[in-house]
């Protein structure tokens, strides 16, 4: 398994003119080695991967890595000097985007190029082991939506629900990912907050007649699952029920379109057309979905005018939504595996409107 991943990544790198790979980002270090931590992974062929790790990470790297030589060093300039000594006479493809680090390596005569393309290209197609882990992560999200049905009540705050879901997720073996663009790991948005697609969690209390958007993204054994459900608290209005059914139909259309060989833009259009026909095109303000894996958001991008073809065993989200400013929002999202026919939908929790 690890050997096949390395081979695939090396092939993409070779196609771009490189004969070695250096992974600095923990996601890519993990992809090549099985170790998630502070280190540089150097790969020159599928059987030879070296992990250059600071001393405080050496033991963990030894235990967690698969078929790797672990080299212990100090942090900082010594680590980079050790790295350069391992890549002599190689043209290296790297994911390092830190300007200072790259300049230091080049001053040490390291032939390093910044090109994340081969990394993302290799990671797009998931192997059987990766799909199993993402499926288990999705199963945890389903259980957390069951928790929502018992915990969402009038008077409970968004923050209190987030705390409960994080606790239960951790207890089941998942971890919240971190985003630079938000202060919260989850999206819990009630009432008018639900009209903000990336709402921050607040101390607002849930009220009767709220629509409540619960967007759960958690990491399990390194891999991400992402899903959204929208609940109604008390008796939803006719407008709320109408909008919910439109989004539900839009998501179903997107799932039907998401087959290997379809363009990403076609899947987006399938969702968007349904919403447009019902007069809410201006209230669908984001793309239909994105790839998931070791990152929360990674290629492919299911958005308008993207002619990239979906490929078998890519894992993506399908997540249309309608957002009515100052009123409420509705989003429904599943993580799926692309196949040659109907996608494998990893989230099993109902998409019928649950009124609590």
Query: With 80 as the cut, is the pLDDT of residue 154 above it?
Result: yes
- Helix/strand/coil percent split, the chain, to 5: 40, 25, 35
pLDDT on residue 281: 97
Q: What is the pTM of this model?
A: 0.95
Lowest average pLDDT, out of 52-66, 72-86, 100-114, 314-328, goes to 100-114
- Helix or strand or coil: residue 265? helix
Cβ(202)–Cβ(226) below 8 Å = no
The confidence score (pLDDT) of residue 288 equals 98
**What's the pLDDT score for residue 177?**
86
Whether residue 178 has pLDDT greater than 80: no
Cα–Cα distance, 19 to 38 (Å, whole number): 23
CATH number for the segment(s) 2-123: 3.40.350.10
Q: Which phi and psi angles does 91 have, rounded to 5°?
A: -100, 110
**How far apart are the C-alpha atoms of 327 and 311, rounded to whole Å?**
38
Domain ranges for the chain: 2-123, 125-345
- Cα separation values, 47 from 50, 176, 177, Å: 10, 33, 31
CB neighbour list of residue 64: distance below 8 Å, 6 or more residues apart: 33, 34, 35, 36, 37
Cα(326)–Cα(283) distance, integer angstroms = 12
Residues 255, 345 contacting (CB under 8 angstroms): yes
Round to whole Å and give the CA distance between 330 and 278: 15
Q: Other C-beta atoms within 10 Å of 345: how many?
A: 16
What pLDDT does residue 46 have? 85
**Coil vs helix vs strand at 22:** strand
pLDDT tens digits along 74-109: 999 999 999 999 998 899 999 999 999 999 999 898
What Cα–Cα distance (Å) separates residue 196 from each residue in 255, 259, 274, 281, 330?
24, 30, 21, 16, 10
Q: Which two tokens stand for residue 45?
A: 């062929």
CA distance 122 to 47: 17
Direct distance between the N- and C-terminal alpha carbons of the chain, in angstroms, rounded to an integer: 45
Is residue 182 very low, low, confident or very high in pLDDT (cuts 50, 70, 90)? confident
- Two tokens, residue 97: 């985007």
Confidence of residue 148 (pLDDT cuts 50, 70, 90): very high
Query: Above 90 in pLDDT, residue 190?
Result: yes
Beta bridge partners of 211: 232
Is 80 exceeded by the pLDDT of residue 110? no
Determine the pLDDT at residue 277: 97
Q: Which fold has domain 125-345?
A: Creatine Amidinohydrolase (3.90.230)
**Token output for 255:** 């799932």
CA 292 vs. chain centroid, Å, equals 4
> What is the per-residue pLDDT across 18-48, written as a single tens digit (0 to 9) for each?
999 999 999 999 999 999 999 999 999 888 8
Q: How would residue 157 be classed by pLDDT, with cut points 50, 70 and 90?
A: very high
For 8-12, what is the mean pLDDT? 96
With vertex at residue 67, the alpha carbon angle to CA 54 and CA 174, rounded to the nearest 5 degrees, is 70
Q: What is the pLDDT of residues 194-249, one digit of tens each?
A: 999 999 999 999 999 999 999 999 999 999 999 999 999 999 999 999 999 999 99
Residue 203: other Cβ atoms inside 10 A:
8
- The neighbour count for residue 264, using CB atoms within 10 Å, is 27
Per the CB < 8 A criterion, the answer to whether 147 and 214 are in contact is no
Reading the block at residue 102, the tokens are: 């790259």
Predicted pLDDT of residue 180: 80
Largest Cα–Cα distance of the chain, in whole Å? 69
Of 35-44, 109-118, 144-153, 268-277, the range with the lowest mean pLDDT is 109-118
Average pLDDT over residues 108-124: 92
Written as six digits, the tokens of 50 are 């070296």
């Amino acid at each position: 398994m690890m050997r096949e991943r390395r081979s695939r990544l090396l092939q993409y790198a070779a196609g771009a003119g490189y004969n070695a790979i250096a992974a600095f980002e923990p996601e890519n270090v993990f992809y090549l080695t099985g170790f998630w931590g502070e280190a540089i992974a150097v790969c020159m062929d599928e059987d030879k991967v070296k992990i250059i790790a600071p001393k405080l990470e050496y033991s963990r790297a030894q235990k967690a890595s698969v078929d790797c030589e672990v080299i212990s060093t100090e942090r900082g300039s010594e680590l980079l000097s050790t790295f350069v000594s391992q890549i002599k006479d190689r043209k290296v493809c790297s994911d390092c985007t830190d300007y200072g680090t790259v300049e230091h390596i080049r001053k040490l005569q390291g032939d390093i190029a910044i090109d994340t393309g081969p990394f993302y290209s290799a990671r797009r197609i998931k192997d059987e082991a990766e799909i199993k882990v993402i499926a288990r992560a999705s199963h945890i999200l389903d259980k957390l939506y069951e928790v929502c049905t018992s915990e969402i009540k009038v008077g409970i705050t968004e923050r209190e629900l987030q705390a409960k879901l994080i606790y239960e997720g951790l207890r089941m073996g998942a971890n919240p990912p971190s985003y630079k663009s938000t202060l919260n790991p989850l999206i819990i948005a009630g009432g008018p907050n639900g009209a903000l697609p990336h709402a921050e969690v607040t101390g607002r209390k849930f009220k009767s007649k709220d629509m409540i958007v619960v967007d759960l993204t958690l990491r399990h054994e390194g891999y991400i699952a992402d899903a959204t459900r929208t609940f109604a608290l008390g008796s939803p209005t006719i407008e709320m029920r109408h909008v919910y059914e439109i989004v539900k139909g839009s998501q179903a259309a997107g799932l039907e379109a998401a087959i290997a060989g379809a363009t990403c833009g076609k899947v987006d259009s399938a969702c968007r057309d349904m919403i447009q026909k019902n007069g809410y095109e201006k209230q669908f303000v984001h793309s239909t979905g994105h790839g998931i894996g070791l990152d929360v958001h990674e290629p492919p991008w299911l958005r308008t005018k993207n002619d990239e073809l979906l490929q078998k065993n890519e894992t993506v989200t399908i997540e249309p939504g309608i957002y009515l400013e100052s009123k409420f929002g509705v989003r429904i999202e599943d993580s799926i595996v692309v196949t040659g026919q109907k996608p494998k939908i990893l989230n099993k929790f109902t998409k019928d409107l649950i009124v609590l």
